Every structure is written in C-alpha cells, then in structure tokens.
Amino acid sequence: MNKTVLITGTSSGFGASAANYFAEKGWNVIATMRDTSKATGFKNSTNLFITKLDVEDTASIQSAIDAGIERFGKIDVLVNNAGYGLFGIFESASREAIQNQFAVNVFGAMDVTRAILPHFRENKSGVVINVSSGAGAIGFPMASIYSSSKFALEGWSEGLRYELASLGIKVKVIEPGGAPKTGFLNRVGGESTGLQLISDYVPFLEQTGKMFQSMALTSDEDAVEKVVSAIYESATDDNARLRYSPTQDIQPILNARRSSSEEAYQQFTDSIFTQANN
C-alpha cells in the first residue's frame, strides 16, 4: 500500500513543491491549505487530495485529518510546514502581532500534531516533520520574534521526540536558509508594514537592511529543491536524526553556533550582524 503524507500550507512555496514531489514519488498526498482556491500549483495526480486546513482553526484541522483518512485509509507522515515570518524591531511589534506569529508557527503545529497523534499511536508508527528555519537555530537581528517562534518549535520538537520514540513515532526538524523563490518574503513585507517606526532604530535598520541584502546574495539558487528533498529524506530515512539543514547559505553560522565557544560565536556573528553599526 502506498504511504500517505499530510502537508500544511501547500498553497505555495515549500508546501506546494513538497506535495508535488511526494506525489511524483508515488505517495498519497493530502495537500492542505486555508484557502483551497489557491490550489493552482499542482500537477494532475490521482493520488493528490486537496482539502482545507487552517492551522488556527482546530475544527478544520480535525476535518482535514478525517477526510484524508477516509480518502486514503491511513496517514503515515505529517509535515507541519505552514508558517510565516514577522520581521522588524521587537519594540515596534504589537502584542497581538507577536501572538499571531506564535499562533501559526508554534500553536498551529502543536494543534495539528495533537490531532494526528491518536491515529499514529493506533498505527504504532508515524513521522512528524516540523519545518523550522535557520532562524530556529540562531537569532537574527530584526527577526527576534520569528526566531523565538522557531526556537519554540525546535525546543518542543526536541522534547517531543523522546516522548514519541517510545511509541514508534519519529520527530524531524528541517532548517531551511533563505529561499527567495517561495511566497515567504512577500508575506514578510506585508506583515512588516503593520509595525510602528521608532526613529532611534533607523541607523540600525539601514545597516541591517544592507547586511540582509548582501546575505540574500548567498541564498542557494536551488533552495526549494534542497528543502523538499530534505523533507522527503526525513520522511523516509528511518533513522534517529532530528535536524536537517539542507541549504549552504547558513552553514557557516550554524557551524559556528554548534562548534564554537559562546564567546567565539558571538564575536563571529557580531562581525556579520552588528559591526557595521558600531
């Protein structure tokens, strides 16, 4: 019997590409999104089932899972991909904007996972794949809120992994770097327009903007393909690995984070992120 994956946030970006990739590999795919009229990026496939799922609406989560099981009989893998980035100065962001960021990136993933776990427990198997970010491993300037949501996602994943291992269920974390070819940056732009401008930060914002522009030049051209391959690998490799960091652009910072002393790491990232401001 073909395996089945349920993916959240498949209206664009990594989610849409992952849905096509799994379907091409012969998987049954439950491609979920909060507005199904956006389901335009799929190749014709009889094993791809599109259904509504808004990660902020628990009733829609349960309906999508139930409909997917009714269609394919079983779900083997969940990909918690839906998410967005609130970028900007922390002090500029309202409490509500920060709560929205956590509602989607953290509580949304938790709610979908909670809803599918009884099914995975019944089957004594399953894989939960959480799409985090390089910003889930390190803090970036102007991304403190996004980073804190992805750090929360990663801390939760790491602890959950032990709980679920005892039941034959795996947890995986994907840490993409920058991927300009998804809808992510457009949404970042939209979210940021709601932030209040505090003039004291303007010199910092100008310098940091330049730093991000130069960082964007190092983004992997094939980031989407690499991320989708890593999602597929994590669904199928059947090993104990937790984190996958498939793009090259963030490797120097991730390596420094994971292999340098705290002081050496901070000196290295200050030289990238803040030196221009001093």
- Helix, strand, or coil (residue 271): helix
Least distance between ligand NAP and beta carbon 257 (Å): 16
Helix (H) or strand (E) holding 164: helix 144-165
- Helix, strand, or coil (residue 61): helix
52 in catalytic set = no
Q: Which residue is closest to ligand NAP by CB?
A: 13
| Cβ–Cβ under 8 Å, residues 53 and 74 | no
How many secondary structure helices (H) and strands (E) does the chain include? Answer: 10, 7
38 in catalytic set = no
- Helix, strand, or coil (residue 58): helix
Q: How far is CA 262 from CA 31, 255, 257, 267, in A?
A: 41, 12, 8, 9
For ligand NAP, the closer CB: 187 or 257? 187
Least distance between ligand NAP and beta carbon 166 (Å): 27
Catalytic residue among 12, 17, 149, 150: 150
21 in catalytic set = no
For ligand NAP, the closer CB: 244 or 261? 244
Please tell me what DSSP assigns to residue 166.
T
Instruction: Give the C-alpha separation, 18 to 33, whole Å.
Output: 13
For ligand NAP, the closer CB: 51 or 263? 51
For ligand NAP, the closer CB: 76 or 111? 111
Instruction: Give the C-alpha separation, 241 to 121, whole Å.
Output: 21
Q: Which residues bind ligand NAP (CB under 6 A)?
A: 8-9, 11-15, 33-35, 38, 54-56, 81-85, 104, 108, 131, 133, 176, 178-179, 182-184, 187
Instruction: Give the C-alpha separation, 224 to 19, whole Å.
Output: 12
Catalytic residue among 11, 17, 132, 148: 132
Least distance between ligand NAP and beta carbon 267 (Å): 25
Least distance between ligand NAP and beta carbon 174 (Å): 8
Catalytic residue among 146, 149, 157, 232: 146
Catalytic (active-site) positions:
132, 146, 150
